[in-house]
A = this chain, B = another copy of it.
C-alpha cells in the first residue's frame, strides 16, 4: 500500500514517467549540444528551418514547443549572430519568412551528429516494432490531451 485514496502514485504514473523520460532526453541533448554553443530550442529552430525553409516566427514557435514571444527573442539573436536571415519587410501580411544562412547551415551540420547519437542511444535495446509501438502510443497520448482540451 504505497497509495492512499486521494493521491497520485508517482511510482506507477505514466505522466510522471513521461516527464522523467523527457527530462532525461533533454539533459542528454543539452550536454551533447553544449560543445557547439547550442541548446535544444536553438537546435530545433535550425533543424526546422533546414527541413522547411521560409517558416514564420509563429510556425517555428509551434514546432519547437515554445511561445511565439520566446521564439521571437531567439530569432533576433540568431539573426544578429548571422545564422538566419529575415526580409526587412513582409512580402505578404505580417509574416517574415526565415531562412538559414550558410553559417547557420554549417553550424547545424556540426550539431546534428551529436543529436543523432543521443537518439540512437535512447533507442538502444528497443526492437524496430517496439519503436513503432512507442511512436504510436505517444501519438495517442498527444491526441487525447489535445482533443479534450
Q: Which residues of A does B touch, CB under 8 Å?
A: 2-3, 6-10, 12-15, 17-29, 31, 40, 47-48, 50-51, 63, 65, 109, 112, 115-116, 118-119, 121-126, 130-131, 133-135, 137-146, 148-149
Assuming the A-B contacts A119-B14, A138-B21, are A112 and B7 also in contact, with contact meaning beta carbons closer than 8 angstroms in the complex?
Answer: yes
Query: Could you say which of B25, B112, B134 contacts A8, with CB atoms under 8 Å apart?
Result: B112
User: In whole angstroms, how far apart are the Cα atoms of A119 and B15 in the complex?
Assistant: 6
**A131 pairs with B14, CB closer than 8 A:** yes
**A50 pairs with B7, CB closer than 8 A:** yes
Assuming the A-B contacts A6-B109, A47-B7, A141-B123, are A25 and B21 also in contact, with contact meaning beta carbons closer than 8 angstroms in the complex?
Answer: no
